[in-house]
A and B are shown apart, each in its own frame.
Chain A
Amino acid sequence: MQTFLTWLGQSWLAALVNDSSWMFPTLEALHFLGLILLMGSLIVVDLRLLGVGAEAPMDAVARFIPWSMLGFVINLVTGALFFASDPDAYYFNTAFRLKMLAIALAGLNLIWFKLSVHPLIAAGSGARIELPPSAAVIGGASLLLWISVIVFGRLIPYLP
């Protein structure tokens, strides 16, 4: 692993971020814009799963999911560039590791959603869908996990 981290820290990718004064702040601004796309659309979908606005058709609300995907891709790319710019500082950082753990758990939660709730939404398009009790658990877990992703991410510079 250390070989990889050292190699990455000396790669053209690291140089791309480190060799200009505006690159890092630009990536940070993009990372924040990705964050609001991701969180904003998640709030719309997850609160509905939790039972808020039960009269709103679930298939219409679920159309906001692609905005989460876009926000996630923006943040995966910008986040990977942060990591490349100083691999050791991120890899050994407690807050960074907790953030990655929370993202992994959120990914598993998404798989659970895709397998259990999503087929019901797709099948009942336009009609009123009775959400299973697991929908509320998935929605609540998603909100908690993504808020903890923001919290751990924000704490990376402050935790060892």
Chain B
Amino acid sequence: MALLSWLEQTALAQYVQENPVGYPLVLTAHAVGMAVLAGIVLMINFRILGFARNAPLHYFRSLLKLALLGFILNVVSGAMLFIADASTHATNVAFLIKIGLLIVGGVLLIPISQRMALAAASGDAALESDNTRQIAAASVLVWIGVIVAGRLIAYVG
């Protein structure tokens, strides 16, 4: 596709491809962002699923803001990794699965953060519902999938 090869020739893509420091630097930022984002999301879901019930949800809401920072870091670093090799990534099965799961994981965070806000206003018990727990369980599985698929991009065609 013309767009993909154009992306590969932008100055930013050339930097990531050719600068010996560029690629490892962006990859490292992506790993740190992943740890912050997926790590926090996982722990919030564990809390919603009933782990450490006496830890107030208010605390986890402040952590969710930090997770958002990890997400922004990874959108930026991920976009840089993508454009460095856009045409290969665009047809890579693991990459496509990762992006699909990422969208699902992001969408699932909307009700999670809404319900946490509700719980902050009306008490932690507001989060005690089967439906919320199902969303949290789905979120855990989806984010595990994002990471596994992401790790496999380098190995599948």
Contact = CB atoms under 8 A, between A and B. Distances in A.
Interface of A: 25, 28-29, 32-33, 35-44, 47-48, 52-53, 55-57, 60-61, 63-64, 67, 147, 150-151, 153-155, 158
Contacts, number: 106
B90 interface: no
Contact of B39 (A29, A41, A48, A151): A41
A135 to B, nearest CB: 16
- Chain B at the A interface: SS class: helix
21 contacts: A25-B151, A29-B151, A32-B148, A36-B35, A37-B39, A39-B36, A39-B39, A40-B35, A43-B66, A44-B43, A47-B66, A48-B59, A56-B55, A57-B56, A60-B52, A60-B54, A60-B56, A147-B35, A150-B35, A153-B31, A158-B24
B44 to A, nearest CB: 9
- Chain A at the B interface: SS class: helix
B58 A53 contact: yes
B59 A56 contact: yes
A29 B66 contact: no
Contacts of B31: 35, 150-151, 153-154
A147 B62 CA distance: 20
